[in-house]
Amino acid sequence: MTTAVELSAPGALSHLDALEAEAVHIFREVAGEFERPVILFSGGKDSIVMLHLARKAFWPAQIPFALLHVDTGHNFPEVIEYRDRTVAEHGLRLFVGHVQEFIDNGRLQERPDGTRNPLQTVPLLDAIEKNRFDAVFGGGRRDEEKARAKERVFSLRDEFGQWDPRRQRPELWNLYNGRHRVGEHVRVFPLSNWTELDVWQYIEREEIPLPEIYFSHEREVFQRSGMWLAPGDWGGPKGDEKLERRVVRYRTVGDMSCTGAVESPAATVAEVIAEIAVSRLTERGATRADDKLSEAAMEDRKREGYF
Amino acid sequence: MTSQINGSAEHAEADASVGLLRLATAGSVDDGKSTLVGRLLHDSKSVLSDQLEAVERVSRDRGMEEADLALLTDGLRAEREQGITIDVAYRYFATAKRRFILADTPGHVQYTRNMVTGASTAELAVVLVDARNGVVEQTRRHAAVAALLRVPHVVLAVNKMDLVDYDESVFAAVADEFTAFARELGVPDVTTIPVSALRGDNVVDPSAHMDWYGGPTLLEFLETVETGGQDEHADGRFPVQYVLRPQSDDEFRDYRGYAGQVASGVFRTGDPVVVLPSGAHSTIEGIDRLGTTVDRAQAGESVTIRLSSDVDVSRGDLIAPAEAAPVATQDIEATVCHVADKPLRPGDRVLLKHTTRTVKAIVKEIPYRVDIQSLERQSSPGELHPNDIAHVVLRTAQPLALDPYAAGRRTGSFLLIDEADGSTLTAGMAGPAFVDQGRRGGETDSATERCL
């Protein structure tokens, strides 16, 4: 125990303190009401912030949850390295579901465009069922996407892992109803009320380390559907797509085949924040091919059990 | 779109120390709510160009001349197909002074349920009326829901002032009527602002057409209204969520802390406290805020409290000041809003979730239902249907440390839950519906009187 006592001044909480307190409350509710919760951890910034909040929520005890990563097989090596380092550093337990295994045994088929993000749903639901996870923390935020704007903090999934937006439970005050039947599970979104800017400001305030691909670096990329993609085994570049060196960084981190880099000189958290504050594109609009598939692409994936 | 909105450049700045305001909007599309919300989002740079392009594209595909800003919030396929808003949508915007979480509640389907949901976490409600129509039935309903949920600040935005020639007397008549009605319902703070969401008068920038109005614009008011006061000045309430016992081999071997979020008031090291429902007394030995030891914790903060004596405390218990603790009870009278399709009837056995405690309960009686529009009471409704507001009498299996909802929104609220499928049936608020409800409503029969 530290002996120094910090004097705390009266007054309204800052927005980061209010968002942090709300997220911590959500983590503790789940710890109090569920048997086998798990945190979805991809090594992306939102899941990194989730883990940081969980560690603070249960300090000085260990977090009472394991981590789960659905590995598309098309990962940025820097991100996997970050994931494994974090797990070792904090003595955590990590479950990994592999999309590749499902392709190899025929339960999933590679898509013609090589994108594996939509293929994550089956291994995710499989891992949830096999390990009997009853609460699954996701880093989804309501500001990310229209279908997510109507998502609850506690979101019930049926025994097939499906989301029915018309049968959501009204969520009042800070009373979260996590009751579910055997075989059903609840997705929990502690960052529901955070924006991209809040996440970055919190990363800055808490000095949370991130994988280096979030910051400006020189990289070989090629252009496809208006996005800068990185080459890899996943199937790029093809045909007349040309590799060029560009100074880029990533705003989101997902499957390499559908996560685009943005050209950016922002090399520090403060520079990233300054860049986001004047950006005219949402992070998904700028960097995610999978959301451009249709008007309701995210809703359709969510209904089937996606993150 | 561009003809409707001329984005001014008050922007979301990267200042990490601004406060947070949760607000709810009420009003129908006809009142110009989408335009108003769209302007707030757009002028604070919270709608980005890829979102605008998507809205413009879909609007064009449907043959509309102007971009339909409702498409920004209508995210679900069913909503777009039917052209209606089904569910509460949460929107986020910010200025240099404050961040905002806006619960945008639809005006058509499941109206009461959605507005009750949106208002439950709101510190401020914006009610919108068309200046040409003034206070209509729907306006009264909006005000009543805000009063019922005890939203501390209510703003009436009198919209479409451009269509009444920016006439002061039109605004004054609407403002006076609404203010009188809201005060009668017990709304503590009512503010009225004349606006034109379409022209941009008094939404973000001051109007050039209404010299007679000397008050703030809507956004100025949202940026400066006092927040958090209600919870902080109330008695201390700390529902225990989780017991932290690391049992490690290090300096924390004997650590035992009670994790939770302060529901109201302030707790300080050295405060004498009582644990409910057991009634055990102790003193606060220390407060840890997520890894840092602090001398005090206020409403809204998530902290861990350590007690000086070895008392039995577990999830669901309440820590309160020894001199100002609630009385634990098994008999609850409350105002409820029924939210499920399945009806609620006297005799039903349900689960009741109050703060961090869930207990079995039985519905003893439903003495009357309240018409949210006329505020008249209907005795013995028999059963409750979705969107019904009613008075109920409950008996719980274990005692609950419940406050009247008027004294604390967090410790006065509860849910009734279906034991079989886990669905949320009813939202409850302990105590009578409105502050001075005795002056309203027609009935004075004995069944009603008993329940006041």
Q: How far is CA A236 from CA A74, A201, B105, B368, in A?
A: 11, 34, 45, 68
Query: Quick check: is B191 in a domain?
Result: yes
Domain membership flag for residue B11: no
Least confident of A131-140, A192-201, B53-62, B422-431: B53-62
How close B423 comes to chain A (CA, Å)? Answer: 7
Domain termination site, one of B195, B227, B259: B227
- Phi then psi for residue B2, to 5 deg, are -65, -25
pLDDT at B188: 87
Question: Would you state the pLDDT for residue B122?
Answer: 95
- By C-alpha distance, the chain A residue nearest B242 is A32
Extract the tokens encoding B315: 């999830």
> Residue B251: inside a domain, yes or no?
yes
pLDDT of residue B13: 42
Cα B245 to Cα B144: distance, rounded to the nearest angstrom: 46
Q: Determine what percent of chain B is predicted with pLDDT higher than 90.
A: 62
pLDDT at B434 over 70: no
| Domain match, B79 and B179 both | yes
**Are β-strands B89-94 and B98-104 bridged in parallel, bridged antiparallel, or unpaired?**
antiparallel
A interface test, pick of B13, B79, B124, B242 with most A CB neighbours within 10 Å = B242
Average pLDDT over every residue of A271-287: 77
Domain that includes residue B422, residue range: 329-450
Report the CATH number at residue B336.
2.40.30.10
The kind and range of the H/E element at B200 are: none
Distance between start and end Cα atoms, chain B? 51
Q: Are A32 and B242 an interchain contact pair (Cβ–Cβ within 8 Å)?
A: yes
Q: Which of residues 259-278 of B touch A (CB under 8 A)?
A: 259-261, 266, 269
B215 with B239, same domain: the answer is no
In this predicted structure, the answer to whether residue A181 has a pLDDT above a threshold of 60 is yes
Show which of B293, B321, B349 is a domain's final residue: B321
Residues of A whose CB is below 8 A from B246: 60-62
pLDDT over threshold 90, residue B31: no
Residues of B in contact with A5 (CB under 8 A): 269, 293-295
Domains, chain A, in order of start with CATH, read 15-197+297-304 (3.40.50.620), 210-289 (no CATH)
Structure confidence at residue A7 (pLDDT): 66
If asked whether residues B194 and B251 sit together in one domain, one would say: no
Chain B nearest C-alpha distance from A172 (Å): 5
With CB atoms and an 8 Å threshold, state whether A273 touches B92.
no
pLDDT value of residue A289: 57
With cut-offs at 50, 70 and 90, classify the pLDDT of residue A212.
Answer: very high
Q: What is the dihedral of CA A250, A251, A253, A259, to 10 degrees?
A: -70
**Are B217 and B143 members of one domain?**
yes
Q: Which chain A residues are Cβ-neighbours of B417 within 8 angstroms? A: 177, 179
Residue A295 has pLDDT above 60, yes or no: no
Q: Which chain A residue shows the shortest CA-CA distance from B268?
A: A8
pLDDT tens for B193-204 read 999 988 889 998
Residue B254 lies in a domain: yes
In a domain, B120, yes or no: yes
DSSP labels, chain A: -----B----SPPBHHHHHHHHHHHHHHHHHHH-SSEEEE--SSHHHHHHHHHHHHHTTTSPPS-EEEEEE-S---HHHHHHHHHHHHHTT--EEEEEHHHHHHTTSS---TT---GGGGHHHHHHHHHHTT-SEEE----TTS-TTGGG--SEEEE-TT----GGGPPP-BTTB------TT-EEEE-TTTT--HHHHHHHHHHHT----GGGS-EEEEEEEETTEEE--BTTTBS-TT---EEEEEEESS---TTTB-EEE----SHHHHHHHHHH-SS-HHHHHBSGGGS-TTHHHHHHHHT--
Mean pLDDT, range B24-48, rounded to an integer: 77
B164 pLDDT above the threshold of 70: yes
What is the pLDDT, as a whole number, of residue A36?
97
Q: Which of B54, B87, B293 sits opposite A4 (nearest CB)?
A: B293
Give how far the C-alpha of residue B63 lies from the chain's centroid of Cα atoms, to the nearest Å. Answer: 37
Is B243 within 8 Å of chain A by CB? no
Q: Are residues B216 and B254 in the same domain?
A: no
Task: Report the pLDDT averaged over residues B109-137.
Answer: 89
Q: What is the least distance, in Å, from the CA of A298 to any CA of chain B?
A: 10
Q: Is residue B7 part of a domain?
A: no
Residues B284 and B340 in one domain: no
Q: Above 60 in pLDDT, residue B21?
A: yes
> Of A285-289, B144-148, B424-428, which gets the smallest average pLDDT?
A285-289
| 3-state percent breakdown (helix, strand, coil) of chain B, nearest 5 | 20, 35, 45
Give the separation between CA B143 and CA B26, rounded to whole angstroms. 9
B62 & B210 share domain:
yes
Cβ of A198 within 8 Å of Cβ of B99? The answer is: yes
- Residue B1 inside a domain? The answer is no
Q: Report which secondary-structure segment, H or E, holds B27.
A: none
Q: What is the mean pLDDT of the segment spanning B408-428?
A: 95
pLDDT at B444: 36
Strand partners, B320: B274
The number of domains in chain B is 3
Rounded alpha-carbon distances, angstroms, from residue B55 to B50, B60, B169:
9, 9, 38
∠ CA A41-B90-B27, nearest 5°, is 170
Residues B140 and B265 grouped into a single domain: no
**Contact yes or no for A179 and B227 at CB 8 A:** no
CA dist., res. B35 & res. B66, Å (int)? 11
Chain-chain contact of B50 with A286 (C-beta, under 8 angstroms): yes
Whether residues B59 and B149 fall in one domain: yes
Same domain? B77 vs B177: yes
Whether the bond into A237 is cis, omega within 30 of 0 = yes
Question: Is residue B59 located within the same domain as residue B182?
Answer: yes
CA distances from B262 to A190, B183, B232, B258, B452 (A): 18, 30, 10, 11, 29
What's the pLDDT score for residue B446?
Answer: 30
Task: Give the mean pLDDT of A148-171.
Answer: 86
The pLDDT tens digits of the residues spanning B244-267 come to: 999 887 889 899 999 999 999 999
Handedness of CA B21, B22, B27, B31 (dihedral sign): positive
Question: Chains A, B: CB contacts under 8 A, how many?
Answer: 232
Q: How far apart are CA B414 and CA B70, in angstroms?
A: 32
- Confidence at A167, pLDDT banded by 50, 70, 90: confident
Same domain, B342 and B437: yes
Length of chain B: 452
> Does residue A201 carry a pLDDT above 90?
yes
Q: Which pTM was predicted?
A: 0.90
Using the 3D structure, point to which of B210, B227, B244 is the last residue of a domain: B227
pLDDT of residue B3: 32
Residue B424, domain member (yes or no): yes
